[in-house]
């Protein structure tokens, strides 16, 4: 296959074993700051995916809560294929800390009694949410946390 600009387009999605947490790459800026980008794969590509409403709610919940467990989180965003999220962290090279933060964040999802910011002022599709859907995604991911380090 032709080498693509996007790292994940060069990843053979038929070879991975979800769920997993994979370091995509490290980008260093001119002043030495480093951005660590992770591929957090919840669902097996082309076999399963997250339903949109639950995915949207777990996005809100993780975005809000992961920042309580780890400094310098730049972003956590869903993939368009609905099988995972990208997590970007500034100046922290610890894979283990990222896993602990993810685990605590998913526990927050299970304990949540509402989805943060699911209203028309704070969200672009406020009608499209499911707390129950988010919890079932989190529950399944947590049940397989022993597999997170294994990508292939």
- Distance, in Å, from the CA atom of 26 to the CA atom of 89, rounded to the nearest integer, reads 10
Q: How far is 49 from 90, CA to CA, in rounded Å?
A: 28
Minimum CB separation from Zn ion for residue 134, in Å? 12
Taking CB under 5 A as the binding criterion, the range among 1-9, 65-73, 81-89, 118-126 that sits at the site for Zn ion is: 118-126
The residue range among 30-38, 63-71, 123-131, 141-149 that interacts with Zn ion, by the rule CB under 5 A, is 123-131
Tokens 């600009």, residue located: 5
Query: How many positions of this chain bind Zn ion (CB under 5 A)?
Result: 1
φ, ψ of residue 8 in degrees (nearest 5): -70, -15
Tokens representing 20? Answer: 């997993």
Q: Which of 123, 145, 147, 151 is close enough to bind Zn ion by CB under 5 A?
A: 123
Does 52 interact with Zn ion (rule: CB under 5 A)? no
The binding site for Zn ion (CB under 5 A) comprises: 123
């Amino acid at each position: 296959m032709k080498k693509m600009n996007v790292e994940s387009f060069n990843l053979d999605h038929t070879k991975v074993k979800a769920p997993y947490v994979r370091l995509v790459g490290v980008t260093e800026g001119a002043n030495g700051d480093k951005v660590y980008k992770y591929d957090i794969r919840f669902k097996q590509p082309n076999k399963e995916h997250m339903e949109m409403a639950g995915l949207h709610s777990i996005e809100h919940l993780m975005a809000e809560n992961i920042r309580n467990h780890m400094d310098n989180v730049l972003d956590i965003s869903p993939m368009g294929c609905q099988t995972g999220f990208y997590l970007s962290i500034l100046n922290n090279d610890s894979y283990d800390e990222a896993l602990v933060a993810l685990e605590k964040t998913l526990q927050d999802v299970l304990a949540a009694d509402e989805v943060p910011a699911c209203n028309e002022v704070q969200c672009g599709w406020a009608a499209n949410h499911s707390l129950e859907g988010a919890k079932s995604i989190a529950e399944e991911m947590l049940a397989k946390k022993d597999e997170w380090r294994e990508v292939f």
